[in-house]
């Protein structure tokens, strides 16, 4: 398995008014090309902190992160992020939001018509062609999140980073978007890291589930390899013994081994 993203001995400390706060320590993780990895853990365990580190939005206090053999020095379009709250620019239409990204990544080499084609293709991929010229406030939460995904995919990133992308959606919309995401990832072979706190989502989507211990000073507790054949179907999996075992393993980690957080909260 070739390492594509590597996290080596990474720790993250924040300066707060009460002194230093250790958010993450001793994180070692490597992700292969085309792999789908989810980070799961209780809230406050530093999943998003780790994702931001891979994105380059923050710098680690110690340790090093590599992507495709190069140190991650800052954010960039080769590591596209789908933000938790979609983060669409409200003064741009869906089309324009995606086009801004396309223009940035391909604008130097490609003509206007090609850029438009790319934008339309990305919106079509998430089934949003009819809403292309609507503004974010005119479309539903699920559609906004899909525009966010289209924007990220349109950049043809080496790594797709998703921070609880479906967290704010209702269960039905979430299930539909998970299915769409699986299809897209199968088609594009995108290397994906997703933060989630939804056990079913993690098992359904992942090749590996990285389970994190509770903060402060959170680290990786266990890593579970999910060896379910693809394409996966949520209905079939519901009765699959392996699926049920994987699910139980994650639940056990979260609510038995890491239950302290829940009790404290």
Partner 1 sequence: MDAMTMDTPAILPAMAESGRKMAMPRAVPAALKPAAGAGAALQAPTGGGATPGDAGKAGLAAASERAEKLRAFLKAVLPPLIGFGVFIGIWYLATLKASGLPGPVQTWKAASVLFADPFYSNGPNDQGIGWNVLSSLKRVAVGFGFAALAGIPLGFILGRFAFMSAMINPLISLLRPVSPLAWLPIGLLVFQKADPAATWTIFICSIWPMIINTAVGVQRVPQDYLNVARVLALPEWQVMTRILFPAVLPYMLTGIRLSIGTAWLVIVAAEMLTGGVGIGFWVWDEWNNLKVEHIIIAIFVIGIVGLLLEQFLVMLAKRFTYENT
What is the closest distance, in whole angstroms, from the C-beta atom of residue 234 to partner 1 in the complex?
29
Q: Give the tokens for residue 173.
A: 């919309």
Binding site for partner 1 (CB under 8 A): 55, 57, 74-77, 79-81, 83, 85, 87, 89-91, 100-101, 104-105, 135-137, 155
Residue 90 vs 231, nearer CB to partner 1: 90
Residue of 106, 98, 103, 10 lying closest to 58 (CA atoms)? 10
Among residues 173, 211, 180, 177, which one has the least CA distance to residue 195?
211
Question: In Å, how far are 14, 139, 152 from 76, measured between CA atoms?
Answer: 23, 28, 11
Task: Tell me the closest approach of the beta carbon of residue 135 to partner 1, in angstroms.
Answer: 8
Q: Which is nearer to partner 1, 107 or 216 (CB)?
A: 107
Looking at the Cβ atoms of 98 and 218, the one nearer to partner 1 is 98
Closer CB to partner 1, 89 or 238, in the complex: 89
CB of 190 to partner 1, least distance (A): 15
- With a CB cutoff of 8 Å and minimum separation 6, the contacts of 48 are 84, 163, 164, 195
- The CB-of-155 to partner 1 minimum distance in angstroms stands at 8
Work out how close the CB of 235 gets to partner 1 at its nearest, in angstroms, rounded to a whole number: 33
Q: Which is nearer to partner 1, 17 or 137 (CB)?
A: 137
CB half-sphere exposure, 260, CA atoms < 13 A:
8
Helix (H, G, I), strand (E, B) or coil at 66: strand
């Amino acid at each position: 398995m070739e390492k594509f993203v590597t996290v080596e001995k990474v720790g993250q400390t924040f300066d707060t008014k009460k002194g230093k706060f250790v958010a993450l320590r001793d994180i070692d993780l490597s992700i292969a090309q085309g792999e789908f990895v989810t980070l799961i853990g209780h809230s406050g365990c530093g999943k998003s902190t780790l994702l931001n580190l891979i994105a380059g939005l923050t710098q680690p206090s110690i340790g090093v992160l590599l992507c495709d053999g190069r140190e991650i020095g800052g954010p960039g379009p080769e590591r596209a992020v789908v933000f938790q709250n979609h983060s669409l620019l409200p003064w741009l239409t869906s089309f324009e939001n995606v086009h801004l990204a396309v223009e940035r990544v391909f604008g130097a080499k490609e003509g206007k018509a090609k850029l438009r084609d790319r934008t339309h293709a990305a919106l079509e991929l998430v089934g949003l062609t009819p809403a292309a010229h609507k503004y974010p406030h005119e479309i539903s939460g699920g559609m906004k999140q899909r525009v966010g995904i289209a924007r990220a995919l349109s950049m043809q990133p080496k790594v797709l980073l998703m921070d609880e992308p479906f967290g704010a959606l209702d269960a039905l919309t979430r299930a539909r978007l998970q299915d769409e995401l699986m299809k897209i990832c199968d088609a594009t072979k995108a290397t994906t890291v997703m933060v989630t706190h939804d056990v079913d989502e993690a098992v359904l989507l992942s090749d590996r589930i990285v389970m994190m211990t509770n903060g402060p000073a959170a680290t990786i507790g266990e890593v579970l390899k999910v060896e379910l054949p693809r394409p996966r179907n949520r209905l079939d999996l519901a009765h699959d013994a392996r699926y049920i075992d994987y699910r139980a393993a994650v639940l056990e980690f979260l609510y038995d081994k890491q239950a302290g957080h829940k009790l404290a909260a």
